[in-house]
Structure 1
Amino acid sequence: MAYKNTAEEWRRAIVELRRSASKFAGLGKEVDRLLKFSYDSLQNDTIRSCFLYCCLYPEYYGILKWDLIDCWIGEGFLGESDRFGAEDQGYDILDTLVRACLLEEVEDDEVKMHDVVRDMALWIACEIEKGERNFLVRAGAGLKEAPDVKGWENVRRLSLMQNDIKILSEVPTCPDLHTLFLASNNNLQRITDGFFKFMPSLKVLKMSHCGDLKVLKLPLGMSMLGSLELLDISQTSIGELPEELKLLVNLKCLNLRWATWLSKIPRQLISNSSRLHVLRMFATGCSHSEASEDSVLFGGGEVLIQELLGLKYLEVLELTLRSYHALQLFLSSNKLKRCIRSLLLDEVRGTKSIIDATAFADLNHLNELRIDSVAELEELKIDYTEIVRKRREPFVFGSLHRVTLGQCLKLKDLTFLVFAPNVKSLQLLNCRAMEEIISVGKFAEVPEVMGHISPFENLQRLHLFDLPRLKSIYWKPLPFTHLKEMRVHGCNQLKKLPLDSNSAKFVIRGEADWWNRLQWEDDATQIAFRSCFQPYP
């Protein structure tokens, strides 16, 4: 009823609810009748299909919004011709379902489905929609073995998420299967060759979080998946992609996020995927010091950049670079800069002591920035006068939400973050030379900027670990309106927190002796935050 505004709409809804209650005998409970009415009241079939799709996930499972939208697009639910239009439509649908209380918002980027709502969705999917077995869902059922493949034949969507299945040994025949979720089967060790041979209509295949370390391999016969549009093998231990993936001519979305053991992606596999719209390679191959010469990962990213430049339809890119030359190649391409959403600079070789962060100002869709183990990096430089001269307002990193830096042993500050007002998560790990997060001294030449900045306005999580020289986060108190958690460990020189007594609504976790050494602006602030502190055990 969230979108019903007039008294007449409410009157008609009550009449319809009373009339239709007798149709739901299979549900049995009054609450289920109300939920079914909520489902029927959704504005159109697209929203209903997107809602039912969510029951493929286990109950209370945290579903990443962008990941779910990837699947909706792969299934063909969202009708917009361009990626950004389809994503906007997807987020609008999620807002509708949350407002109708059919999904619950966990975080800004996650939703979940209550078990009662999920039971209702499964009932609708299996008993009402088109009178056929549209779904086969055994998600979170604790299965040790896969269900008998004879029962898969007429299924359009199948989920075996979050089970303890070790081997998929049979070859199923699934002519109508569109979506298959094998994700989060952490003990999966083997998928028999030919397993995907008789799935000609499969569009969405999710295998994320599958497999024991360095054990799982992709089976032979995946080239038969001629209709596949989305392949997700993120956060798996798979070591290499087979050459036959080059034959997946309809592949539009390839998710390799955090496939850290992936050392070999055959050359031309990426460039041959001519219809690729989305490529997610954040933290891909990070557990290997060097890829083989026949891999597109060889050379720190230079080969990969060359293959990416040939992708005509690429719209969304997540990238890991391991050389300064690869970074320069990337920044010289307007096409790739328009696509980039997440960027990881990992153990970058050949880097100078300074990276010009001003060059990142053109990355209008950059959502996530991570810099790991760049040993020589001393400064992320920002040309403040250039930014002020070229732009009416200084906030040039408006889309940046997550920033992580780890083991950058010479870096002293992150002052560029004053131009990133929408950062929600900031993690600094083992940056042993870090003295300030925001340095007031760097604004001496552009005092006109000072009146416009209020950093960390949207910050939700701040984690500071092993920063032995850190003395200052910011030079004056900040409201921290949205902060939920601050974690501090190994920051013994940090004796003042930039806290406003009116913002004492979040948790601060740290060592008790560090907390006892803190100096406060006034007694009121100290008293306000005393109840917020939780010492590490």
Structure 2
Amino acid sequence: MGNIFSISLSLDPIITRCSDCATGQASYICNLEDNLHAFQAEVAGLKELRSDLMSRVRIAEDEQQLKRLNQVEGWLSRAETLINDADQLIVQSPQHVENLCMGGCCSTHPRSSIKFGKKIAKKLLEVKDQKENGDFSDVASKPPLPSATERPSEPTVGLESNFNKVWSCIQKEQVGISGIYGLGGVGKTTLLNQINNKFHDTTHDYHVIWAVASQDRPIERVQDQIAKRIGLSNEGWKSIEEKAEDIFQVLCKKKFALLLDDIWEWFDLTRAGIPIPTQENGSKVIFTTRRLDVCCQMQPNRDNNIRVECLPPGEAFKLFEEKVGSETLRMHPDICKLAEAVVEECAGLPLALITIGRAMASKKTPREWEYATEVLRQSAASVLPGVGKEMYPKLKFSYDCLPDERFRSCFLYCSLYPEDHPIEKYQLVDCWIGEGLLDEHTSLSNARNQGHFIIGSLIDACLLEKGQYNDRVKMHDVIRDMALWIAGESEKEKFFVKSGVQLKEQPKAKKWAEVTRMSLMENQIENLTEILECPNLQTLFLGSNDLKVIMDDFFNFMPMLRVLDLSRNMNLKELPVGIAKLVSLEHLNLSFTKIRKLPVELKTLAKLKYLNLEWTRDLKMIPQQLISSFSKLQVLKMHGCGYGCLLVLEELEHLKYLNVLTLTFGSFSELEKASRFNKVFSCAIEHVSLINFRDSRSLNMTALAKLQHLCILWLWRGVDLEEVKIESNIIEGAGCFHSLRNVNLAGCNHLRDVSWVTFAPHLEELEIYKCNGLEEIISEEKLGEVSELKGNLNLFSKLKILFLHYLPKLKTIYRHALPFPQLKEIRIVKCPMLKKLPLNSNSAKGQRLVIKGAEGWWKDVEWEDESTKIAFLPTFKPGI
């Protein structure tokens, strides 16, 4: 009896479980495995559907400037939540499957299995339903146009009374057109900016349009800007008249305020399609010009035209002192009196006061100030019509004070770029090198350093301005005009510049033989079918056109050409064989073109030192021994090139002057093979990209860590990549990633951290996009494994930019606050789990840090303490 009793006890749990299985809920256990398989497949399909939809949305937003539909945004948000929930259930599923027994019909933990099975079944239905609702014919639409768009504006000196006059004039019902006129650089555009921003900051019923006319093709340029502002597509327009008709049909139904900057002659509003402002329609046109006669032609009533006067002596000196610095003025008793003489010579012109004030900021002795005063007084150069005889000689003072002719030539070179064009520093310096403007007998590295030193000097002299990004500069329009005037007056240098003026055909000129530099960039030229006889031409900029055909003989009579830029001609598929006639060519830029092969005739370019093939994705054929025939080649850029980098590495071994190389690898094995070419690989590579690599879960960075000149590293779409390794002997040695400045990661979904970037001591920019599995940037545990990094307070000591985009699992950047002594900008986008930043009240001290992100995310940020919160709240800029 005891044995029987014992047996009945051991069977009890099984009987209980079978009893549960007999109930109506047993199906959740019996169907669990099938439901799981179906669930995983449906989730995978939902992810693919979401990815496809996001691609359509990005194209609509980035390329078509549309705004995503609310229903699309809602669907994406719900899909993201569902996917996150689903991923968590899938992670939990193995333990529930292990609990199944008796062929999957029962469970050792029935209640838990039933509960989990219910969740799976419920989520399966939700995912299916979400997929069925994800079919959108349209994903975006045109956003509503704001009544006015705010423009950047600096604090001004002495413009308050002028502003009040203009604003008062605008308020008068009987005044439809108002003019603002005065000398170049007197502050007219600044004043118009303030008017625009007044509209932005007040309630009104105007549709405010900002447009810049300038000298070249003013009507067409203004038409394009108006069309963009009022939401008209310019596709299909063939003539000014067609544009005018479409613009008129829109504007005649609006009450508009057109702010028209920088007109040089009478502007025909009717021909442009702009309804004439009247008291009945209530519209306004406010324009700026340097010429009173233009004002009178546009608006005969002089009371409605406001002259912007130069500053009176007191305000002029105040502005000058602000730029030169009160410390300089106090260096010697005589300097202040001499400064008054300099201010007097500037005649109250703000641009001259600012330019010369900054130029004199470092001059600490009376002799320097006496020289400045004398030079200003004796300058006898003439000026361009419409600018005024007093302006250019005074502005030219900064040019005359440059150290030598090399600096002056480099400055004039910048005028080849279009108005308001952001000029990439590295591109500019490489062109200077190609033209021979920098020391030719030094190393490439030293020549580049010299170029950047010159750029810094030109910025200091206010002849160049810092761009929006640190790697760019720009040239003020007036300064550019002055530079072109100087070049036009020069006996040595003759420029032909028609950049950014919407040319559709190859221009004509009478005196090609005199031209030394030519720029036709940023136009719409399709064909070059006429020979240019330019025996003295040294630089030719043809970038950013619509070039399709370049005749074979086009380059026949340019024997001195040293720099040729054909970049960003997206329709250019082949090079003319006549390019072989450019026997003096040293710099050839073919980046962002559609060329499919390099002609073997390029072998005649024996002096070529710089060849840029970046993002020539269609390039599939380079003749053997072509690259190695460029025996003087110093720079070869092939990042994003369609031609396999391994095919040229062997040839590169023979190029003894090669200093800069950029490459893209499609697999880890390619990288390993490339590393065997030790001479080229270790000494020349400046930029490496690993894109679409699928052949490794672990990436050993040892080969890359040893690269002496690696500045930029991109890891994109490493589908299987789970970890990045660096061998301990490399970490312990000196120079690991010593030159690395920029790291960009995207689409590496299995990476959980990027702790390896801490081995790059000079890292300045870290950008991470769409790494769905990333949980932390720097792992404290992994740092602890490396003795050299334990307690390291210098992490990110050089970091300036930190961009983190679409990282759904990211929780921490680093667990402790860091000093960040150089940090300029943090940008956080779609990182919902990132609640705390590695900041305390001492972080980024002395820096003008900007933190950008969504307002909802910012509200949830957790701070170290109240003082940290107070310190960083003002740094936030919403809107991403």
Amino acid at match of 1:72: W
Match of residue 338 from structure 1: 683
1:180 aligns with 2:540: yes
| Correspondence 1:58 to 2:441 | no
The 8 Å contact of residues 281 and 318 in structure 1, kept in 2 or not, is answered as yes
1:116 aligns with 478
Structure 1 residue runs without a partner (length 5+): 286-296
Q: How far off its partner does 1:327 sit?
A: 1.5
Alignment of 1:58-97 (within 5 A): 58-81=418-441, 82-97=443-458
What whole-Å deviation, never above 9, does each CA across 1:125-161 have from its counterpart, x for those lacking one?
111343xx61101112222222115543321100011
1:487-513 CA deviation, whole Å, 9 max, x = no partner? 323322222221234549433333444
Higher radius of gyration, 1 or 2? 2
Asked if the contact 1:17/1:37 (under 8 Å) is kept, the reply is yes
Matched to 1:340, the amino acid is: I
Kindly provide the amino acid, as one letter, of the partner of residue 118 in structure 1: R
Tell me if the contact between 1:418 and 1:454 (Cα under 8 Å) persists in the aligned partners. Answer: no
Q: TM-score, normalised by structure 1?
A: 0.89
Aligned in 2, Cα 1:363/1:530: closer, same or farther, shift over 3 Å?
same
Match in the other structure for 1:241: 598
Helix, strand or coil at the partner of 1:141: coil
SS of structure 1 residue aligned to 2:621: coil
Q: In the aligned structure 1, how far is the partner of 2:813 from the partner of 2:829?
A: 14
2:690 is paired with a residue of what secondary structure? strand
- 1:72-97 CA distances to partner (integer Å, 9 max, x unpaired)? 11111112422122122212222221
RMSD: 2.4
Indicate the residue corresponding to 1:103 in structure 2.
Answer: 464
Deviation at 1:357, TM superposition (A): 2.2
Alignment of 1:449-488 (within 5 A): 449-488=789-828
Corresponding letter in the other structure for 1:105: K
Matched residues in 2 for 1:342 and 1:177: separation? Answer: 32
Distance 1:268 1:409, change over 3 A: farther
Question: Is the CA contact 2:434–2:586 (under 8 Å) kept in the aligned structure 1?
Answer: yes
SS of structure 2 residue aligned to 1:24: coil
Determine if the alignment matches structure 1 residue 141 to structure 2 residue 481. no
Q: Any residues of structure 2 matched to 1:22-421 within 5 Å, and which?
A: 22-24=380-382, 28-81=388-441, 82-106=443-467, 107-130=469-492, 134-148=494-508, 150-185=510-545, 187-212=546-571, 216-285=573-642, 297-298=643-644, 301-332=645-676, 333-348=678-693, 350=695, 352-384=696-728, 387-388=731-732, 390-391=733-734, 396-421=736-761
Between the aligned partners of 1:339 and 1:246, the Cα distance in structure 2 is: 22
**2:204 aligned partner:** none
Please name the residue that 1:428 is paired with: 768
**Count of equivalent residues:** 513
Report the equivalent of 1:290.
none
Aligned residue for 1:288?
A: none
Judged with a 3 Å threshold, the aligned counterparts in structure 2 of structure 1 residues 438 and 458 are, in CA distance, closer, same or farther, namely same
Find out whether 1:525 has 2:868 as its counterpart. yes
CA distance in 2, matches of 1:38, 1:346: 47
Which moves more between the two structures, 200-209 or 355-364? 355-364
Whole-angstrom CA distance in 1 between matches of 2:635 and 2:834 = 42
Supply the AA of the counterpart residue of 1:507.
V
Structure with the largest fraction of helix: 2
Moved more, 232-241 or 307-316: 232-241
Q: 1:39 and 1:85, CA in 2 relative to 1: closer, same or farther beyond 3 A?
A: same
User: For 1:146, what is the secondary structure of its paired residue?
Assistant: coil
Distance in 2, Cα, partners of 1:398 & 1:114: 36
Query: What amino acid is the match of 1:202?
Result: L
Higher relative contact order (CA 8 A, sep 6+): 1
CA shift for structure 1 position 232: 0.5
Which has the higher mean CA deviation after the structures are superposed, 65-74 or 333-342? 333-342
Distance apart, 1:319 and its partner CA: 1.4
Aligned AA for 2:803?
H
Amino acid at match of 1:473: I
> Whole-Å Cα distance in 2 between the matches of residues 134 and 326 of structure 1?
48
Counterpart residue number, 1:506: 849
What is the letter of the counterpart of residue 688 of structure 2? L
For residue 666 of structure 2, give the secondary structure of its aligned residue in structure 1.
strand
- From the superposition, tell whether residues 108 and 515 of structure 1 become closer, same or farther in structure 2 (CA, over 3 Å): closer
Within 1, Cα distance between the matches of 2:551 and 2:712? Answer: 37
Question: Which position in structure 2 is the counterpart of 1:289?
Answer: none
TM-superposed CA distance for 1:276, in Å, is 0.8
Q: Give the deviation of 1:386 after TM superposition.
A: 5.1
Q: Quick one: percent identity of the two aligned structures?
A: 46
Paired amino acid for 2:611: L
Q: How far has the Cα of 1:528 moved from its partner?
A: 4.1
Distance 1:240 1:456 in 2: 43
Contact 2:664 2:690 (C-alpha < 8 Å) held by counterparts: yes
2:172 corresponding residue in structure 1: none
- What one-letter code is carried by the residue in structure 1 that aligns with 2:471? D
TM-score, normalising length from structure 2? 0.55
Distance 2:629 2:669 in 1: 24
Whole-Å separation in 2 of the counterparts to 1:237 and 1:5: 55
8 Å CA contact 2:653–2:679 kept in 1: the answer is no
Query: What is the Cα deviation at residue 461 of structure 1?
Result: 2.4
Distance 1:314 1:431, change over 3 A: same
What's the CA shift for 1:531?
Answer: 4.2
- Give how far 1:177 is off: 0.9
Per the alignment, residue 44 of structure 2 pairs with: none
Q: In the superposition, relative to structure 1, how do residues 439 and 10 fare at CA in structure 2: closer, same or farther (>3 Å)?
A: same
User: Alignment partner of 2:536: what SS?
Assistant: coil
CA shift digits 1:352-407 (9 cap, x unpaired): 3222223333222211111112222222213457523x34xxx7333222111111
Distance 1:149 1:23 in 2: 26
AA paired with 1:478?
Answer: L
Shift of 1:456: 2.4
- Bigger CA drift: 378-387 or 195-204? 378-387
Q: 1:196 to 1:474 in 2, by over 3 A?
A: same
**What CA deviation, in whole Å up to 9, does each residue of 1:75-124 have, x standing for no partner?**
11112422122122212222221221111122432221111111111111
Note the 1:438-453 alignment, pairs <5 A: 438-453=778-793
Please give the alpha-carbon distance, in whole angstroms, between the structure 2 residues aligned to 1:512 and 1:62.
30
Q: Please give the alpha-carbon distance, in whole angstroms, between the structure 2 residues aligned to 1:101 and 1:456.
A: 32
Measure how far apart 1:447 and its partner are: 4.4
Counterparts of 1:145 and 1:25, CA distance in 2: 30
Q: Which residue of 2 aligns with 1:294?
A: none
SS of corresponding position for 1:22: coil
Residues 347, 374 of structure 1: 8 Å contact kept: yes
